[in-house]
Structure 1
């Protein structure tokens, strides 16, 4: 009886040991799929996932932190509650409608979020300025990588030194990914569950199958785009502008007027007062004033901040140029289309049809 009991226990123990051995072999992690702390790829992941402080530069003029929602600002005497990133456009509209120097005052206290997602309560302007002064200036080098982003969710697996699975974690956003990399334990084996998908600044996607590929792709992407770490809030207004968007707007609205006109730095705002501009789908345009009508042509091509608008009305030479679409402004009942070339040529049409 004792021998039988011993054999049964032996068989059970052997079977259990075999299962454990098979399990360990099954979850053996290849070396190229192990994520180790203090490696270049870990640092690149962390830099990509860090908090980008430049998104609210229209408010704080600081690249190394942003202000947590909600908060309130006073812009040119107008009180604005900032509850989401969409409210930055409201601030810009108030700026754009002013013909004088703009002012923006933040109502304290506020909470700022640093690049590592830690938060600090700021009670006074002096405290706030001490943090803004610590940031790098416009377009200066900083650690965050903005030209590529991870698409979430991402799954990570953590094993003990015996290759036994301890837990599987689902990472939902940059903050969680940053903390995950920051907390890597050298005593455990950590991997991300490939394939991963990342999205580039131009909205194209790339699929990554291991850490070697991930390191190469992130490193290559660092200088691929303009990170917009400046304080010019209007230089990216047409990032997503398209010819069809502009064409639909110009054609669907009639009797456009010239709101602003500058050539070679000279002001011609009043040169075409009372002139009505109409754009047609066949690429022609007409201008009417004082019972006079003149015709010309127009085309739109390109995309984003390089969208070119060629206007040629022989009778109105001040309007003619290979303009670049700077902004489509829909801040109020009026719609404005702002065309520019460099810093000295500008043509802005306005209409109240929308």
Structure 2
């Protein structure tokens, strides 16, 4: 939803101010005082049920007037006069107080009024803590992609498509478009202006700032700070931030792999590849044996805006000859996806036996033909390696 300017806002002092643009609005909000400044905090969970009235006294403490208050604006202005000693007044009881859920409580005197307000204040703080905890869990649920970035009123496309992952223990990781991973710290803080997200990166000053959350909807958040600084983030649960190109390359070459699941255009294909050994080599060569046939091709680990990808080129194997996005990487599993297809590879690492590793590697990486075998005491051609 876009704001149509000009707009009129009412301040905490109940003054009306006209705002002509989004930049003016950001600057005005940024000038609001934070919690640590010496000003009474507003209690948002309770309010007076208007009208209420005050008795006004003269210097001899004789009632000279009863002032009726119809709304918060009138109350604020009247209390300013009391603070300035322009009038001497006392609140008239009984009066009703309305909680956020609509509950009406009646105070018969100042002591009861104080107790009601203190109880409401505690419930506000509990609600604030819950809201912050809920937002924190929401931020950590999935990675966020930088959709728009503005610093000092200047658009900066360099940071578009950066991926941010908010983690436990105040850790935040960010993946740049070239695949570099940066690690920093983050924290949520409630201020008088609202919830602030503070990020700090040692080598990324543009993101190191206390950003105020000013717009929040499902799948998108907007944060800003004074001086024309704004970031729009969009949630993308399919992006994996902490996977790097080098990590994937080294991981692929460590062991053998088997196709555990393969879905192509909503059709299950894994039965054609059950038990199929797949081996990735250092020189970007990949070999797979399917039904006894050795197929050799190439592979490449790619860096894409959406994450790290794997391109496999195997002639005659169109189900595998595709570009895949790596969506999950664990100790023994890789999950890959593209527009219409999904594949899961399971890692198979033989025991650290040099002879066994040599045999397995030879079986996968070489051509073999059956020369003979023994079946029911009948001699068959033996298996020999072809060069």
Q: TM-score range by the shorter chain?
A: 0.3 to 0.5
Q: Which has the higher helix share?
A: 1
Larger Rg: 1 or 2? 2
Q: Which has the higher strand share?
A: 2
State the structure with bigger RCO (CA 8 A, min sep 6), 1 or 2. 1
State TM-score, norm by structure 1.
Answer: 0.40
